[in-house]
Chains A and B, each alone.
Chain A
Amino acid sequence: MEYLFRAESVSKSYTGHKALSNVSVRVPEGCIFGLLGPNGAGKTTLIRIINQIIGPDEGSLLYRNEVLRPEHVHRIGYLPEERGLYKKMQVGEQAIYLAQLKGVPASKAKKMLREWFEKFDLLPWWNKKVEELSKGMAQKVQFIVTILHKPDLLIFDEPFSGFDPINVNLLKQEILNLRNNGATIIFSTHNMASVEELCDHIALINKSEKILDGNVRDIKNNYATNIFQVELSNLQQPLERLQGTRFEIISAHQQNGMLTARVQALHQGESNELIKALIPIGQVNAFYELVPNMNDIFIKTVTGKFPQQSSDYELSVHANSYLTE
């Protein structure tokens, strides 16, 4: 696989505590890469190291197989979690300034910024001071400034905080657009729903160590419980026929001639076998694998067990539809 960015065996300590120990992260090109972990795990330290704001004590950093150099900051766009702007400075002027620092000539920056401001309904605010903007508007300006120089690698740290739902959607759309246009995105968040929605790959960092990484689908499958939800109509045989050495019925109830049941396959990869076994019983209307969501996986990996309230999977287990795919 082609990696846009690699951090190999990176360690960083501050006096008294270790922020990162021997962390390796590989970000495939053209994906949205979720960097997850509880507060204080070392995510921000890693992000700052990638941005060359601080240097690692040990380890190597590679950008497209080149050792990371100061010039690479022009290829990277970074939206920090704690972010602000000069309050007394005019919006347009400030955006041009920040673009210039990323190596975009002022005239070019102005032209591109006007287009983006137009798109985000910010144009009337061009000559206003930042302190006159609402928080959401200021965040939009920051987002535009982050992506204006068309970086190959974008790093968003909690990008959705401070946005209303409408703007969150707008932003998600833009992030997906960026990915579809070839950018690679590192996305650090606590919001597991958005990880599920956006991320292709993740790395989970806890207590300065990386404890999990990989493709989101693979990870979910690793945590699969092999429980399937089935809906049958037009019943020919009782469901209990399934019961045996290969399958176990966890729950079942019938309503208006429709049988909804949860069946666990006792061996890995037996979904097709289960479907075959279901066909004689009745008409298969729906068949889902119940997979734990990222939130549960996150909590399981960090604390060692799935969250209490969802032990029966009623609340948090997601339906992973095979039939509709």
Chain B
Amino acid sequence: MPIHTLQNNPYTTAMNKISIIIQREYLSRTKKKSFIVMTILGPVLMAALMIAPALVATLSDPKYSVAIVDDSDLFYTALVSTGNITFTPLDVHIDSAMVLIEDEVYDAVLHIPDIAFQSPASMRIFSRRTVNFEAKAHIESVLKNEFEGLKLTVKGIDPEVLMAVETPINIAAIRIDEAGQQAADHPVVRTGLGFLGGMMIYLFIFLFGYQVLRGVLEEKTNRIVEIIVSSVKPFQLMMGKILGVGLVGLTQFVIWVVFTFIIVFVVRSAFPEVFDFTPAQEVHITAAQSLNPDEMQRQIAQTQAENTFAGEIMEGLAAINFPVVLLAFLFYFLGGFLLYAALFAAIGSAVDSEDDTQQLMLPVTVPLIFSLVIMQSVLQNPDGPLAFWLSIIPFTSPIIMMIRIPFGVPYFDVALSAALLILGFIATTWLAGKIYRTGILMYGKKVTYAELWKWITYR
């Protein structure tokens, strides 16, 4: 007696089988040690990447102490201690000061001789070790200003006039959105996010697309494929594998995002001072609208002083519409993955070993690598014709559109690009299915493009 009833609905049967295949593909990959390691290591690395710059800025610089022996008596007041460098004016002879660095009381001694004003090259900085680069640069820049001021005074120009001429330029970038509202722009953050998004799509497509290729090739070289295709249609096996691997990629991505946010949140709570910033944006806006030049300048100077780099980043991030970016990422990852994974599957089916994949891989990887190479140009002009066309063409759109998304993309572009991407992966999947069903059963034949075309045209 048959142990199961013959399923009468072929559609349900097919779906059942695809889901059984997806399950195996998914579980066999997520149970692997390499997956677990990558899943844990990924967020740690990403969080480190996000936190490190802020940490480095505050933690890595030990205080650097510089003693000043100014025989000209002109610059003691100019050199004021900063966060990382302390200046100590010494009213001693340079020889006695040298003893102090030998005793390591100070890290360095700056000697400004009498003739410094006439001959700046006579100035020296002494240290037992290599002079701290940052301290040297700071001293040089301060002294340059002082020298210039002194020289102008000598030429008879009033320092008051000089102050009035000095004009700090910092153009506030304001975006006018579709509703006509003005908002501060954050080109640095948008560029960074676009780069990250495009890069992630590239990596995910390559990483997981190649996993599909390996999986198909494994089944072929294992010779299990003929057993499986006597139970399911080759197309079902191919789709099951592609979808299973795609789900693995999604899982990894979701875990990464969640973990990264958790780690960043924990670190931020633990070291709040690192991420301290003043929300300066409102000040900018009101300043821009007040139209009082003096008041504006004063406020800008103030906010600039209060603003930190980390603060600017945080503020920029706060201005990004993350749900939209994440949604776009999921769509373009899935669309791009499906498009490329089908091609990777076709390649895996057509060859006998991984060594033979090179020749066939080339045309598939070219658009991916091209997208990466062109990234810089797209970031510089995210609304230009190059960016537009590349974000419409299905083979480049997953990466290029992801770069454009943080800058804001017209709905029309997104809709067109999304529709074409969907058509694109349907087309590649159909094509790949044709190659796949012949390829998996073909052994010991060096495959050419002409051969592949024949496979596509088989009934």
Which chain A positions have C-beta within 8 A of B230?
51-53, 73, 76, 78, 80
Interface residues of B in 291-331 (CB under 8 A from A): none
B4 close to A104 (CB less than 8 A): yes
Determine how close the nearest CB of chain B comes to the CB of A55; give it in whole angstroms: 7
| B226 interfacial contact with A, CB 8 Å | yes
Q: How many residues of B contact A (CB 8 A)?
A: 35
Residues of B within 8 A of A149 (CB): 3-4
Asked if B2 contacts A75 (CB within 8 A), the reply is yes
| Contact indicator per residue, chain B 273-298, by CB within 8 Å of chain A (1) or not (0) | 00000000000000000000000000
CB-CB contacts of A45-81 with B at 8 A, as 1s and 0s? 0001001111101000000000001110111101110
Are the C-beta atoms of A80 and B228 separated by less than 8 Å? no
The answer to whether B222 and A150 touch across the interface, beta carbons within 8 angstroms, is no
> Interface segment, B7-15, B44-52, B64-72?
B7-15
Asked, given contacts A71-B10, A71-B13, A101-B20, whether A83 binds B224 with beta carbons under 8 Å apart, the answer is yes
Chain B residue at minimal CB-CB distance from A182: B1
Q: Say if the beta carbon of A85 comes within 8 Å of chain B.
A: yes
Evaluate contact between A85 and B2: CB separation under 8 angstroms: no
Partner of B454, one of A15, A48, A98: A15
Q: Is B63 an interface residue (CB 8 A)?
A: no
**CA A101 – CA B224 in complex, angstroms?**
13
| B-side contacts of A84, CB under 8 Å | 222-224, 227
Q: Which of A89, A108, A145 contacts B227 (CB 8 A)?
A: A145
Chain A residues whose CB sits within 8 angstroms of the CB of B454 once the complex forms: 15
> Cβ of A74 and Cβ of B232 under 8 Å apart?
no
Q: How far is the CA of A102 from the CA of B28 in the complex (A)?
A: 20
Is the pair A88, B28 in contact by a Cβ cutoff of 8 Å? yes
Residue with the highest number of chain A CB atoms closer than 10 Å, among B231, B233, B441: B231
- Contact of B224 with A85 in the complex, beta carbons under 8 Å: yes
Task: Return chain B residues, CB-CB under 8 Å to A55.
Answer: 459
A97 touches B24 (CB 8 A): yes
CB distance from A2 to the nearest CB of B (A): 18
Q: Which residue of A53, A74, A86, A101 contacts B226 across the interface (Cβ within 8 Å)?
A: A53
Q: Say yes or no: A100-B20 contact (C-beta < 8 A), given A71-B7, A150-B2.
A: yes
- Please indicate the chain B residues that have their CB under 8 angstroms from the CB of A70 in the complex: 10, 13-14, 233
A197 at the B interface (CB under 8 A)? no
CB distance from B235 to the nearest CB of A (A): 11
Quick one: which of B6, B8, B17 contacts A75, CB cutoff 8 A? B6
Contact A71 B229 (CB under 8 A): no
Smallest Cβ-Cβ distance to B28: which chain A residue: A89
A53, B20: Cβ atoms closer than 8 Å: no
Give chain B residues whose Cβ lies under 8 Å from the Cβ of A52: 230
Whole-angstrom distance from the CB of B443 to the nearest CB of chain A?
8
User: Is A40 among interface residues, defined by CB-CB distance under 8 A?
Assistant: no
Q: With the chains together, A54 CA to B226 CA distance in Å?
A: 11
Known contacts: A97-B24, A149-B3. The answer to whether A78 contacts B441 by CB under 8 A is: no
Asked if B185 lies at the interface with its beta carbon under 8 angstroms from chain A, I say no
**A105 sits at the interface (CB 8 A):** yes
Q: Which residues of A contact B146 (CB under 8 A)?
A: none
**A83→B13 CA distance, assembly (Å):** 25
Q: Are B4 and A103 in contact (CB under 8 A)?
A: yes
Contact among A71, A79, A145 for B6, CB-based, below 8 A: A71
Closest to B24 in A: A97
Q: Which of B7, B28, B228, B229 is close to A103, meaning CB atoms less than 8 Å apart?
A: B7
Considering the chains assembled together, what is the distance between the CA atoms of A87 and B232 in angstroms? 20
- Given A74-B4, A150-B3, also A86-B227 (CB < 8 A): no
Contact B218 A98 (CB under 8 A): no
Assuming the contacts A74-B4, A75-B6, asked whether A142 and B227 have C-beta atoms less than 8 A apart, the reply is yes
- A94-113: CB near B (< 8 Å → 1, else 0) gives 00011011111100100010
Docked complex Cα distance between A149 and B7 (Å) = 14
Tell me the nearest residue of chain A to B9, going by C-beta. A71
Chain B residues closer than 8 Å to A112, beta-carbon distance:
3
Q: Does A325 contact B (CB under 8 A)?
A: no
Q: Report how far A86 CA is from B231 CA in the complex, Å.
A: 16
**Structural contact, A73 and B231, CB atoms closer than 8 A:** yes
Also in contact, A83 and B6, with CB within 8 A (given A70-B233, A101-B17): no
Min Cβ gap A11→B in Å is 12
Closest to B223 in A: A84
Q: Would B7 and A108 count as touching, CB distance under 8 A?
A: no
Q: Are A83 and B2 in contact (CB under 8 A)?
A: no
Q: Which residue of A lies closest to B443 (CB)?
A: A82
**Nearest residue in B to A146 (C-beta to C-beta)?**
B227
The residue on A at minimum CB distance from B5 is A103
Q: Which residue of A lies closest to B220 (CB)?
A: A84
- Residues of B close to A53: CB separation below 8 A: 226, 229-230, 234, 441
Contact A78 B227 (CB under 8 A): yes
- Nearest Cβ on chain A to B451's Cβ, whole angstroms: 9
Asked if residues B226 and A83 are in contact (CB atoms below 8 Å), the reply is yes
Question: Within the complex, what minimum Cβ distance (angstroms) separates B22 from chain A?
Answer: 12
Q: Within the assembled complex, what's the spacing in Å between the Cα atoms of A102 and B138? A: 76
A71 touches B8 (CB 8 A): yes
Q: How far is the CB of A67 from chain B (nearest CB, A)?
A: 14
**Which residues of chain B come closer than 8 Å to A57, judged between CB atoms?**
459
Give the Cβ gap from A56 to chain B, nearest Cβ, in Å.
10
Task: Indicate whether A102 sits within 8 Å of B231 (C-beta atoms), given known contacts A53-B226, A149-B4.
Answer: yes
Q: Is the CB of B10 within 8 A of A98?
A: no
Contact mask for chain A residues 3-47; partner B; CB cutoff 8 A; 1 contact, 0 none: 000000000001100000000000000000000000000000000
Distance between A275 CB and nearest chain B CB, rounded to angstroms: 48
Cα A76 to Cα B232 with chains together (Å):
12
The answer to whether B441 touches A101 (Cβ under 8 A) is: no
Q: Which residues of A contact B7 (CB under 8 A)?
A: 71, 74, 103
CA distance A87 to B28 in the complex (A): 12
- Closest A residue to B442 using CB positions: A14
In the bound complex, residues from chain B placing their C-beta under 8 Å from that of A98 are: 227-228, 231
Q: Is the CB–CB distance between B232 and A101 below 8 Å?
A: yes
Residues of chain B in range 233-251 having any CB-CB distance to chain A below 8 Å: 233-234
* Extra A-B contacts (16), CB below 8 Å, given A84-B223, A150-B3: A53-B226, A53-B441, A71-B7, A73-B230, A74-B4, A74-B6, A80-B223, A83-B226, A83-B227, A84-B222, A85-B222, A98-B228, A98-B231, A101-B17, A101-B228, A103-B7
15 interchain pairs (CB within 8 A)? A53-B230, A53-B441, A70-B233, A73-B232, A74-B2, A79-B227, A86-B28, A97-B24, A98-B227, A101-B21, A101-B232, A102-B231, A103-B7, A103-B13, A104-B3
Q: Give 5 closest A-B pairs by Cβ, nearest first.
A: A84-B223, A101-B231, A84-B222, A78-B230, A80-B226
Q: Which residues of B are interface residues toward A (Cβ below 8 A)?
A: 1-4, 6-8, 10, 13-14, 17, 20-21, 24, 28, 218-219, 222-224, 226-234, 437, 441, 443, 454, 458-459
